[in-house]
Amino acid sequence: MIAFAAALFFLIITPGPGVLTTAGIGSGFGYPAGLRFLAGLFISTNLVCLAVVTGVAATLFSVPYLRTVLLYASIAYLLYLAARIAFSGSNIAFIRSQSPPGFLIGLGFQAINPKAYAVNTFLFSGFPFWPESILVETSLKFLIMNIIWIPVHLAWLAAGVSLQRLDLSQRTMFFINLFMAASMLIVVALAARSEFLHTAP
């Protein structure tokens, strides 16, 4: 159980699309938008876990090319979010006037992310600690995951909002948001490279 919790903690707390987007929305749009996004992301994360546990994800990914299609859809999604974050603190009025990413964006965030399915398959199929009952073990894993997931993501949101509250100049905020967006682009590049190596003959 401790090994599972430790692996989960380090997987969640390290910068990835979910936490980087959460921090970016916090710094660009504040707590209300960030909490709406997190609510959707929370539900989406648990639905992906449920799909993995029930075998639905394995059935879907047995369809040829579906994994690749979802990967490129998630890359496009992350590029869109990176652009929204990068320009949220700029002087480009038509971008700033757009509504911030909210609940529905968060809800769809994990659904098209193949990495989310892979990570949860790794977590829920490994780290056995309750051999007497797979149901008890799975339930405890869901509980542990949410106990760790919620405060970690709230901490990333608070970090993003704290940047906004420092009353930094427009130029400084723009470069901070640009840095967060660039970090997301690195994640996108690594995902694309991983897929290329996976499919290369």
Residue range 141-191, pLDDT digits in tens: 999 999 999 999 999 999 888 877 776 677 777 776 677 677 667 656 655
Decide if 105 is inside a domain. yes
Total residues found in the chain within this entry: 201
Does 75 map to a domain?
yes
pLDDT tens by residue, 21-35: 888 888 778 899 899
Question: Could you give the CA distance from residue 117 to residue 142 in angstroms, rounded to a whole number?
Answer: 15
* Structural domain contains residue 11: no
55 found inside a domain: yes
| Straight-line distance from the first to the last Cα atom of the chain, in angstroms, rounded to the nearest whole number | 39
> What domain count does the chain have?
1
Query: What pLDDT is attached to residue 70?
Result: 66
Q: What is the pLDDT of residues 85-107, one digit of tens each?
A: 677 654 433 334 356 778 888 88
In a domain, 13, yes or no: no
Range of the domain at 144: 2-6+18-199
Choose among 170, 169, 126, 129: nearest CA to 11: 126
Task: Supply the pLDDT for residue 142.
Answer: 94
Query: According to the model, what pLDDT value does residue 60 have?
Result: 67
Cα–Cα distance, 43 to 198 (Å, whole number): 29
Q: Is residue 12 part of a domain?
A: no
> For residue 121, is it within any domain?
yes
Predicted confidence at residue 42, as pLDDT, reads: 95
